[in-house]
Structure 1
Amino acid sequence: MRTVLDFSPLHRSSIGFDRVFDLLETAARAPQQDNWPPFDSIKISEDQYRITMALAGFSRDDLKIEIQNNFLTVSGERKADHIGEVLHRGIANRPFTRRFELAEHMQVAGAELRDGLLTIDLKRELPEALKPRVIPIGGAEKLGSERRLLQGQAA
């Protein structure tokens, strides 16, 4: 059963969030993707996140991590297999591609493969122009001199 989401009430009271609404509508319409390999996504702090993927049997050489157009793509394909006849295969070794859409200004801080877990650390790095600034408030004498200067330019 699919739930249809109506964002029209939010459109009335918000401006500039069109991209967010588009993402939510796209996510609601998107077909269910493969759940393999399993992963955890964790918010460590206000600007730090971590993705941990369970990749038993994959080596560093079998994996590829890319970022393009705010999409983090993790793909893998095992190059080496066991020697001999496999009697039972319980450890998946099929190739995979998993994509994560990243918010603006998210950067990959690092990636590590240890004990069958791939850990990708992400950090939000806002440009200086987007960080909050304190605007100093001048006194009446400063405001008056600026007004006289502006009036002089207008004349």
Structure 2
Amino acid sequence: MRSFDFTPLLRSSVGFENLNRLVDAATRGEGNAYPPYNIEKLGDDAYQISMAVAGFAEEELDVTVHENVLIVTGRVAEREEDASREFLHRGIGTRAFERRFELADTIKVTGAGYANGLLNIELTREIPEEKKPRKIAIGSNPAPKAIDAHNDDDREAA
């Protein structure tokens, strides 16, 4: 059940079509919390996602970016169980998973590393030059010319 109506906002904005989908996903919450992860802000434009993937080998993990969605998957390869081991408690999960993260248009995945049971994914905010603030020089131009709507209509008719 959605409790937010973004229709008025969407009428006066451009490019926010996925806002409804993002809010719906956020309000639904995570049904599956496996594997656990952290999202850290390392600097003004640097982020890191750390995911606890103990029990997975590096070749069983896959990190993909597709249309501003970061997809992390873990596939369990067929392993032969050691018959000599007897578990009293088995709490280290090794089940397959897929975790998705929505990325803003300016966020780029710059790398990933795996060490000590943690998958670390590095992200950077890269703002294109045309979107960065720029200083506009103020010159000493003469006063702007007044537009005479009546004369403009006469010129168009001619």
How far residue 11 of structure 1 moved from its aligned partner, in angstroms, is 2.5
Cα distance in 1 for residues equivalent to 2:107 and 2:4: 27
Coordinate RMSD, CA, aligned: 2.9
Ranges in structure 2 where 5+ consecutive residues have no aligned partner: 145-154
List alignment gaps of at least 5 residues for structure 1. 145-153
- In structure 2, the partner of 1:134 is 135
Letter in 2 for 1:83: D
TM alignment of 1:108-119, pairs within 5 A: 108-119=109-120
- Provide the rounded CA distance (Å) in 1 between the counterparts of 2:67 and 2:133: 26
**Number of positions where the alignment pairs a residue of Structure 1 with one of Structure 2:** 142
Return the TM-score normalized by structure 1. 0.76
Work out the CA distance in 1 between the residues paired with 2:34 and 2:26: 20
Change in 2 beyond 3 A, CA 1:109/1:129: same
Inter-partner Cα distance in structure 2 for 1:135 and 1:87: 72
Q: Deviations over 1:59-110 (max 9, x none)?
A: 1111000000101000012223542265332211111110101010211111
* Higher share in helix: 1
CA distance in 2, matches of 1:60, 1:32: 25
* Residue equivalent to 1:151: none
Match of 1:56 in 2: 54
Is 2:113 aligned against 1:124? no
Partner deviation per Cα, 1:16-35 (whole Å, 9 max, x = no partner):
47336414432256464211
Q: Secondary structure at the match of 1:140?
A: coil
Give the 3-state SS of the residue equivalent to 1:18 in structure 2.
Answer: coil
Partner of 1:76: 74
- Give the Cα separation in 2 of the matches to 1:32 and 1:116: 22
2:86 matched residue in structure 1: 87
* 2:23 is aligned with 1:22: no
Q: Tell which deviates more after alignment, 88-97 or 73-82.
A: 73-82
How far does residue 3 in structure 1 lie from its aligned partner after superposition?
Answer: 7.2
TM-score by length of 2: 0.74
Percent identity between the aligned chains? 36
1:147 maps to which residue?
none
